[in-house]
Structure 1
Amino acid sequence: MMHQLYPQVMHPYRYELNKDMHIAAAHFIPHEAAGSCANVHGHTYIVNVTIAGDELDESGFLVNFQTIKQLVHGKLDHTLLNDHSDWFDGHDPNRFPTTEVVARTIYETIQRYLDTLPHKPTCLQVFVRETPTSYVVYRPKAGER
């Protein structure tokens, strides 16, 4: 069981949902400046997605936790991140599978899904812990939501 505190986002919404996931995945950073991270290696990532909104859907959910898990864990768990060419690219540094890009891409994927919902919840942040001492938080800039 995960018991973790995450950076909080102040917001005006009535509801805030947080979904935690463990994702076991390998990756490599295709750049000489990555040092040993240019070699294939793995992590057990801890991911937290924060979603907020004012209205619940017809089933009483802001968003179904299972759907969020399927969008992220269902795609990435026990895979080589570099193989997901729809998410990552070995030529564009803005799409290398770094922790920063993983967090941003999870946000973009979740937000695309949320945009299809009639009650329009919003993804406030994605937290990705790569190691016990290193993590990234991705938040869209004001006005980008």
Structure 2
Amino acid sequence: MYRITKEFHFSASHQLPHLPADHQCARLHGHNYIVVVELASAGLNDDGFVRDYHELAPLKRYIDDEFDHRHLNEVLGHDKVTSEYLAKHFYDWCKQRLPETSAVKVSETPKTWAEYRP
């Protein structure tokens, strides 16, 4: 199986208001997010690629236009915008457009990652 990944960055705020008031994530706060999209294929196309990296440009535009420097609770209309939730959201968005999508990872901090892989 061939696998490729591409990394994207954005900064945004969110809040998890359902958590106890003394939980740091219950307060409005922000992160410098990293999104890593993985594509997999048993074979390569005629150009020797799983998929040309340039074909991931629509994801960069989507992230830049809809997520960068935004409040994620408002963007997604959801109160539980966690890294896990974002990983699934970006996986679903990519899978509709890039059938080779096999996983998405999202990081809020340099030491924490969430992954959605069906």
State the 1:42 CA deviation: 0.6
For residues 64 and 50 of structure 2, what CA distance do their matches in structure 1 show?
20
Contact 1:71 1:109 in 2 (8 A): no
**What stretches of structure 1 move > 6 A for 4+ residues in a row?**
none
Residue 66 (str. 1) matches residue 54 (str. 2): no
RMSD of aligned Cα (Å)? 2.4
Residue correspondence of structure 1 range 1-145 to structure 2 within 5 A:
12=1, 14=2, 16-33=3-20, 35-53=23-41, 54=43, 56=45, 62=51, 64-84=55-75, 87-90=76-79, 96-114=80-98, 121-140=99-118
- Could you tell me the TM-score, scaled by structure 1's length? 0.67
Tell me which of the two structures has the higher relative contact order, counting C-alpha pairs closer than 8 angstroms and 6 or more residues apart.
2
For residues 58 and 26 of structure 2, what CA distance do their matches in structure 1 show?
33
Contact 1:21 1:73 in 2 (8 A): no
For residues 61 and 50 of structure 1, what CA distance do their matches in structure 2 show?
10
Note the alpha carbon deviations across 1:74-98, whole angstroms, 9 max, x for none. 32111110111xx3423xxxxx111
- Could you tell me the TM-score, scaled by structure 2's length? 0.80
Shift of the 20–69 alpha-carbon distance from structure 1 to 2, 3 Å rule, reads same
Note the alpha carbon deviations across 1:48-84, whole angstroms, 9 max, x for none. 11112345499x7725131221233432111110111
For residues 88 and 133 of structure 1, what CA distance do their matches in structure 2 show?
27
Q: How many residues align?
A: 113
Contact 2:40 2:50 in 1 (8 A): no
- Name the stretch that deviates more: 73-82 or 22-31: 73-82
Which amino acid in structure 1 is aligned with residue 29 of structure 2?
A: H
Greater share of residues in strand? 2
Structure 1, unaligned stretches of length 5 or more? 1-11, 91-95, 115-120, 141-145
For residues 134 and 30 of structure 1, what CA distance do their matches in structure 2 show?
21
State the 1:27 CA deviation: 0.5
- Name the stretch that deviates more: 34-43 or 65-74: 65-74
